[in-house]
Amino acid sequence: MKEAVREYWESHPNAVNLGTGLIQGSKEFFEAIERHRYTAEPCLQEMAQFPRWREKRVLEIGCGIGTDLRQFSRDGAMVVGLDLTVEGVRMARKGFAVFGLSGDFVVADAEALPFVSDAFDLIYSNGVIHHTPDITAAVSEIHRVVKVGGESLIMVYHRNSYFALVVVQALLIPGIRILLWLFPRGILPRWLRLPMGIKNIYRITFEKGFSQETIFAASTDLSTPGDGNSNPLSHAYSRRDAARMFSAFTSCKSYVRQLYHLKFLPPLLRNWIERRAGWFLFVRAVK
Ligand SMILES: C[S@@+](CC[C@H](N)C(=O)[O-])C[C@H]1O[C@@H](n2cnc3c(N)ncnc32)[C@H](O)[C@@H]1O
């Protein structure tokens, strides 16, 4: 499974599609991705508190193309970016070079971090360890390499969210089951107008076999049918799961954020829903 995870992210570095039409690796390319990220997901800045880590040692696990890591570096932190993929690290390095920032990078596995114990003031990880086969090993490594009194800020998908419960469980899973029952040969009729994402998930479940795990994983990234083109693994966690997973830390708080939809609602109501049923579960744990 680890190899399938690595292969998938090697050929799908996160958010690269948001720079489509721009020269990959150019300043404009990285700026477009950055603009989109902090407009669509403002909770990242709120949670990461980039300026707070000035002159501190920060490790980002699963840095991908390095968008958040650049913010830590710009704000004066001494940063290390780690990713399972050669391509993620190559692009993160490129982004740092383009903006004249300094940082160290390593291709490695979150489940076996190549650092001595008590090495970092902050371990940051956004949307990563829910894709690794052994999340318990990853959390135990995070606990080992963060300093005593240091912090970890880890975002994983939220199980009790509108996305997991309504979009995936209530709509997508039964919908795909019905499509496979109506059209068991893996071909949808042309007259059936469905969003491309749903057509892709139908094809993926046709190829891999129907399972809730396959549908959930494919729905959490831009998966397309064909060899190695669909996200092989995603998990989601509740706040209680998070408290259990991070119980070795001295203290642990969790925060729920991120609603991509419901923009028409009054802000107060939208905030209320976001803080209970948002898609991102941030865990802030102190060792
Ligand atoms: C959804 S992307 C998020 C990337 C980045 N954190 C961001 O916010 O753009 C998931 C990343 O996790 C990395 N990843 C998955 N499993 C990993 C592991 N076991 N160790 C290190 N990185 C891993 C992937 O290579 C990929 O870059």
pLDDT in tens, 109-145: 999 999 999 999 999 999 999 999 999 999 999 999 9
Confirm whether 139 is domain-assigned.
Answer: yes
Q: Which residues line ligand 1 (CB under 6 A)?
A: 5, 9, 14-15, 61-64, 67-68, 83-85, 88, 109-111, 126-128, 131-132
69 with 137, same domain? yes
- Same domain for 156 and 200, yes or no, is no
Name the pLDDT band for 180 (thresholds 50, 70, 90).
Answer: very high
CA 93–ligand 1 middle distance (angstroms)? 15
Task: Tell whether 210 and 252 lie within a shared domain.
Answer: no
- Indicate whether 69 and 16 sit together in one domain: yes
Per-residue pLDDT for 78 more than 90? yes
Task: State the Cα–Cα distance between residues 224 and 197, nearest whole angstrom.
Answer: 8
Mutation pick for ligand 1 pocket among 10, 60, 63, 84 (CB with most ligand atoms within 8 Å): 84
User: Does residue 142 share a domain with residue 282?
Assistant: yes
Q: What is the mean pLDDT of residues 254-277?
A: 93
Residues 52 and 175 in one domain: no
Count up the domains in the chain and report the number.
2
Over residues 186-224, the pLDDT tens digits come to: 999 999 999 999 999 999 999 999 999 999 999 998 888
The answer to whether 81 touches 105, Cβ cutoff 8 Å, is: yes
**261 Cβ contact list (under 8 Å, min separation 6):** 162
Label residue 244 by pLDDT band (50, 70, 90). Answer: very high
Give yes or no: residues 46 and 150 share one domain.
yes
- 139 and 171 share a domain? no
Q: How far is the CA of 65 from the centre of ligand 1 (A)?
A: 9
The model carries a pTM of 0.94
Give the domain range for residue 243. Answer: 2-160+238-286
